[in-house]
Structure 1
Amino acid sequence: MAEAKTPLALVPPVSSLDTVVGVRDDGTGAQIVQLTTSNLAALLQLDAGGLVRSSWTQLETIVGSYDGQPARVLGDSGHHNDPVTSGHPQVDNEGDYGWVAASSAWQWLRGLSPTQADVAAAVAAEAALRTAADSSEQTARIAGDAAEATARAAADATEQGARIAGDAAEATARAAADATEQAARIAGDAALQSEVDTLSAELQAPLEAVSHLALYSGSGDITPIAASDIGQIILGVDRATGALVGDGVGETPVNRVLGAGGIMRYIGDGAITPIVTDSFGRILLGVDRETGEGVGLFAGGVSSSSGDPNATPAPIASVAKNHLLFYGQSLTVGAAAGAVLSTTQPYVNLTFSGGPRAWSGTDWDFASFKALVEDAVAPAPDGYSNRAETMCSGAANYASTCLALAGVAPSDHVILASTAGHGGYRIDQLAKGSAWYDNFKAHVTGAHLLDASHAVQTVGYGQGESDADDATPYASYYPALAQLRSDMDADIRAITGQSSPVYMLLYQSSYGARTHSDIALAHLHFAQSSDYAYLVAPTYAFPYADDHTHLTAVGYKWLGAYYGRAYAAIARGKKPVWLDPVSATVRGALVRVRFTVPTLPLVLDATNLASTTDKGFKVLDGASPATISSIAVSGSDVLITLSAAPSDVVTVRYALDALGAGISIVGGASGNLRDSTPDIITISGTDYPLYHVCPAFELVATKLGE
């Protein structure tokens, strides 16, 4: 027997989406909250895995899930002494925080930007207003476009009829003329639900003929706000996660562009939970369940107006000279490469007259452009004499290859490649304000003086080895990396005048990953949390030189191709992808690690990757290593079977604890997990695969109970 339908909300067609209604539970009880389109996008900017709390008192009692986990406090005007920063300075309660495991505390990172602060103030003001209002006013205020019709039906059926259905709904209003008295009893009455049901039942027949009364017929964790005429949720709130879910409401101006239709329904089953779709079921606004990021129409950290969740936040504009500029330490300048491989230019890509390093041997040389080839000028600008093949040619030329395959002729997108790195430098020695940072800007200025139709599209960042040597803590390195990206973006735009953002591409340093994992984890977490930074590969996958610190010439060109593939994706408006760890769960003795996989199947490869103990995985039961009985892949998951069910908190680590046979990286670690992407690069007549190789990671597993 079918479950009886419970009338919930009256949803007429609307011309725009002004207000979204949700439910929030902050631990003191469920609250209905109202989000406007002006603040919804800003609220969706919180990084993946982050927390939002309304006070510092609430946040400080929570134990973070991993080092660097982001959090935000909104609307708390008080102050406290930072429990992590040296000297414990007084900081605002409101702002962005990061979890510091070593201190077991939240560290205040920065205040909210003006936009975020405005949103916080607006949300706080709305909450105060709702608290002061009586229950009847509160119902009327939070209803939004869909729920407003129901509130007004209870308060004044005549007005409701006029708003919902125009002249045709006047009959409904007359039939419900006595609803005003009934609405007064509803406000604050314990029998709220039954009275709403009664009223809705009385109005159902005439309103269905006019406005397709939305009825909810389901059950479970979703609290519906509006439902379709066949019981499908159009807009609701997941009580378990607090996330907005739904299939869209009404016809929006965007929908009229993409396709006409009435109530829009979601027809997919992917990782995106839709809020609004067009009439063909394409997502216009939604939430990525795997990352927690908003995707769709809104600006400010949400994907482009195409509604494509794989689109970059903002497209780049191709110009006459598209600059791919490397920056970092020795791996960005070809240290210990031993040879020059790229002596001819297969396309029309360029570098400076002084070569990729823009250096004559005694001074900077930005005099002109020339065909991109590599050199071994010594001494190099950083004073060393062992520099040869850089990643510049591998990156620029492979980017042209990828774009050509996508239908973009190399002559239609000319790439200028150069590198401004310095061997052996920590991140603080490369940051804005350091002496060397001015040399980074000189590459930008030099190119722009030669051709005003020039823009820096990406910075290929490669660094962290010296910070691993010096044991720079995660809590210092992560914000320094974020600040460097922000400074480079601002300074480059000031020089070039470009409106498009400068995207950062970075490798994950495997050097020191075993002895000081903070740097490798910061690389991964920054790429996971930033809309403008993308991971290209971990360095354990490439051949190292005899010093066990730098790469060979083949290694640089091979790794450069990974940067090039990512560059080409950005040039086409797509987010670069990598094999990304999403979650770890444990049920009994089975640990399951889930990934976002660019190309299935997952492969545990001990042929192309150095064979590593337990394929690079390590499972901790509390602080003790658990015995692994077997490791297998299943779809997007890696299944790790333990010899016994763990009794304590389970932590899964990868490429942080063991180094594969036959390779030597100082303090390094490796693993054997990759995807099946078929891309290759040909170097000196030999094909090298461009699999997406799994980066080092650490995840705390959730114990499953059902």
Structure 2
Amino acid sequence: MKTTIFAIELCSMLFCCTSLFASEGDKDRIFMQFIMNGQSLSTGHQAYPVISTEHLRGNYMLGNQVWINYGNTGQLTFEPLVGTVSEAFAHEKHFKSRQAGTIAECPLLGAVNHLRLKQPKMPKILATSVGVSGASVEELSKESETRTAYKEFETSLQSAAKIVAQANAKIICPAIFWMQGEFNYDPNPEKGLRANVPNTTDKREYKKLLVNIKNNMQNDIQQQYGQSDKPVFITYQTGAQYMRDTLAISMAQLEAANEYDDIICAGPIYPMTDRGGHLDSNGYRWFGEMLGKVYYQSQVQGKAFQPLQPTAIVREKLPTQLRIKYHVPVRPLVFDVDLIPKIRDYGFEVYVHDYRQENKQTIKQVEIDGDDVVLTCEQPLVGDVIVVYAGTRSFIEDRPKGKDGLQGHGNLRDSDPYKAFFKYEDLDEMQDGTFVHPRDSFETTLRPDYEPKDRKGRVIYGKKYPLYNFSVGFYYKLPAGNNQMNVF
């Protein structure tokens, strides 16, 4: 098992020890900058309405919004952090609808507000989003010859450093949150590092680019702020409707987290509420709290965090059976068909020989056995065996005819009791005959495609977001002649 080595000394200085903060005044001179980078899910694309509208004392942003870009026209000073519609969209005629691409509820809000509520006396937080909707990893990279997105990140560091220097304060960056990958699932001739060169869709190349941008961001932070510790790099796993083929990009993110001590995979995005790919307001804030949880557990409590994921794929004595051994953060394993609708075979697929539809095996039974999941197929599993979870062909079990729905989902989770702070809102709630969240006159609903339910079948309105660890999506091949394949 990989252990997280990020800045135990820094963690103890900022959260545990009082030696650094001899007085309240000393603490007030420390800022902790949390940076979010990525593409549309990092910015909060298609996220109207904003629901993180309350300012929590001690949390700040750079300028007049959490995004360093997207119309940040305010003077670059530290202002109280509050959720807003980005200036790039706030003045458009129709931005208050479900389908509008409005950048609004940035997941970074949920992350840092979670940390503030978890540690009210922690140093001041500076939250900065530098992501760009619709960008490939190449376009976000420092080496890009076609885009200048990386300069937005550099500007955020330079501006923050200048402000704290003028105030005789200090700033450090303990974490970078990464939410990007969707645009690397499909090649585009305009999204490579150079003009007329397509972006990569290859697992190894994406992993290389991911590690490279991580290193560049960490190095620039250390140089700009004079900090000795690297900020931990916390990535999500690209998924849901964006999954493609062998899940190359999603597997690259997972493998990078398993291979590098300064990368943590916080888990998949598919459990959160969405609007057909992009999340809705609840979904963004919900995953933001998930990021806050992972940061808190790993960097404050000092616990090694890994998502719910396979550790080994094993052929059983019965030739029709396959056993998947799991790393389970908090036992027991559960098939949850309330927060997520029942997915065919709970999201599992099995193939023999190769990954073609005609080689897909009929699964007769899916069972939880301790920390394992056992799949029983109709025919013997001879030769190469491929097992997939939350892939491109996982759909709602009772979907309407002609509609696939909820590609890239699954029902397997752990039982982590960790508590969120924020509650799932009914985006169509009404008071005194009017909507709590105003919308364009043509808009009939702001609700997501599917709303999570409790065990009694009731939508979880007014209840705190559950922060279980759902299984990552995966694609593994157990070669012919091998009875077991260890994942990590």
Q: TM-score, normalised by structure 2?
A: 0.74
Aligned CA distance change for structure 1 residues 667 and 399 (closer, same or farther; 3 Å): same
Q: Which one-letter code corresponds to 1:462 in the other structure?
A: M
Partner of 2:217: 488
Percent identity between the two aligned chains: 26
Q: Looking at CA atoms only, which structure, 1 or 2, has the larger radius of gyration?
A: 1
> Which of the residues 415, 423, 440 maps onto 1:676?
415
> Which of the residues 331, 342, 347 maps onto 2:41?
331
Is the 1:612–1:659 contact (alpha carbons within 8 Å) kept by the matching residues of 2? yes
Q: Distance in 2 between matches of 1:492 and 1:629?
A: 52
Give how far 1:563 is off.
0.8
Partner of 2:180: 463
Q: Distance in 2 between matches of 1:520 and 1:478?
A: 10
Partner of 1:531: 261
Q: Distance in 2 between matches of 1:561 and 1:639?
A: 32
Greater shift, 683-692 or 451-460, is seen at 683-692
Give how far 1:465 is off.
1.0
2:329 matches 1:598: yes
Partner of 1:127: none
Partner of 1:121: none
Partner of 1:316: 10
Q: Distance in 2 between matches of 1:495 and 1:656?
A: 41
1:74-93 equivalence runs, <5 A: none
Aligned CA distance change for structure 1 residues 660 and 644 (closer, same or farther; 3 Å): closer
Is the 1:313–1:531 contact (alpha carbons within 8 Å) kept by the matching residues of 2? no
Partner of 1:374: 83
Q: Which has the higher contact order (CA 8 A, sep 6+)?
A: 2
Aligned CA distance change for structure 1 residues 449 and 362 (closer, same or farther; 3 Å): closer
Q: Distance in 1 between matches of 2:393 and 2:338?
A: 17
Give how far 1:698 is off.
1.8
1:2-151 equivalence runs, <5 A: none
Q: Distance in 2 between matches of 1:665 and 1:493?
A: 47
> Which of the residues 485, 499, 516 maps onto 2:228?
499
Q: Which one-letter code corresponds to 1:438 in the other structure?
A: K
User: SS at the partner of 2:88?
Assistant: coil
Q: Distance in 2 between matches of 1:518 and 1:689?
A: 28
Q: Distance in 2 between matches of 1:581 and 1:690?
A: 20
Partner of 2:110: 394
Give how far 1:433 is off.
2.7
2:55 matches 1:345: yes
Please list every run of 5 or more consecutive structure 1 residues that lacks an aligned counterpart in the other structure. 1-290, 294-308, 405-409
Q: Distance in 1 between matches of 2:290 and 2:304?
A: 14
Is the 1:316–1:501 contact (alpha carbons within 8 Å) kept by the matching residues of 2? no
Give how far 1:491 is off.
1.0
Aligned CA distance change for structure 1 residues 423 and 611 (closer, same or farther; 3 Å): same
Aligned CA distance change for structure 1 residues 388 and 655 (closer, same or farther; 3 Å): same
Q: Per-residue CA shift, 1:198-250, capped at 9, x if unaligned?
A: xxxxxxxxxxxxxxxxxxxxxxxxxxxxxxxxxxxxxxxxxxxxxxxxxxxxx
Q: Which one-letter code corresponds to 2:154 in the other structure?
A: K
Is the 2:313–2:484 contact (alpha carbons within 8 Å) kept by the matching residues of 1? no
Give how far 1:360 is off.
8.2
Q: Per-residue CA shift, 1:251-301, capped at 9, x if unaligned?
A: xxxxxxxxxxxxxxxxxxxxxxxxxxxxxxxxxxxxxxxx4x5xxxxxxxx
2:231 matches 1:519: no
Q: Distance in 2 between matches of 1:466 and 1:633?
A: 35
Q: Distance in 2 between matches of 1:398 and 1:362?
A: 24
CA RMSD of superposed structures (Å): 2.7
Partner of 1:444: 157
1:661-672 equivalence runs, <5 A: 661=396, 668-672=407-411
> Which of the residues 525, 539, 549 maps onto 2:277?
549
Q: Distance in 2 between matches of 1:366 and 1:507?
A: 32
Aligned CA distance change for structure 1 residues 322 and 574 (closer, same or farther; 3 Å): farther
Q: Distance in 1 between matches of 2:471 and 2:70?
A: 39
Q: Distance in 2 between matches of 1:516 and 1:590?
A: 22
Give how far 1:686 is off.
3.0
Please list every run of 5 or more consecutive structure 2 residues that lacks an aligned counterpart in the other structure. 15-26, 93-99, 188-199, 426-461
Aligned CA distance change for structure 1 residues 476 and 680 (closer, same or farther; 3 Å): same
Aligned CA distance change for structure 1 residues 422 and 527 (closer, same or farther; 3 Å): same
Aligned CA distance change for structure 1 residues 347 and 582 (closer, same or farther; 3 Å): farther
2:142 matches 1:428: no
Q: Distance in 1 between matches of 2:279 and 2:79?
A: 26
Partner of 2:381: 646
Give how far 1:411 is off.
2.3
Q: TM-score, normalised by structure 1?
A: 0.52
Aligned CA distance change for structure 1 residues 415 and 665 (closer, same or farther; 3 Å): farther
1:608-627 equivalence runs, <5 A: 608-623=339-354, 624-627=359-362
Give how far 1:503 is off.
1.0
User: SS at the partner of 2:210?
Assistant: helix
Q: Which one-letter code corresponds to 1:333 in the other structure?
A: T
Give how far 1:538 is off.
1.0
Partner of 1:472: 201
Q: Which one-letter code corresponds to 1:379 in the other structure?
A: A
Number of residues of Structure 1 aligned to a counterpart in Structure 2? 389
Is the 2:333–2:414 contact (alpha carbons within 8 Å) kept by the matching residues of 1? yes
Aligned CA distance change for structure 1 residues 658 and 313 (closer, same or farther; 3 Å): farther
Is the 1:324–1:456 contact (alpha carbons within 8 Å) kept by the matching residues of 2? yes
Q: Per-residue CA shift, 1:18-52, capped at 9, x if unaligned?
A: xxxxxxxxxxxxxxxxxxxxxxxxxxxxxxxxxxx
Partner of 2:448: none
Q: Distance in 2 between matches of 1:342 and 1:704?
A: 47
Aligned CA distance change for structure 1 residues 541 and 704 (closer, same or farther; 3 Å): closer
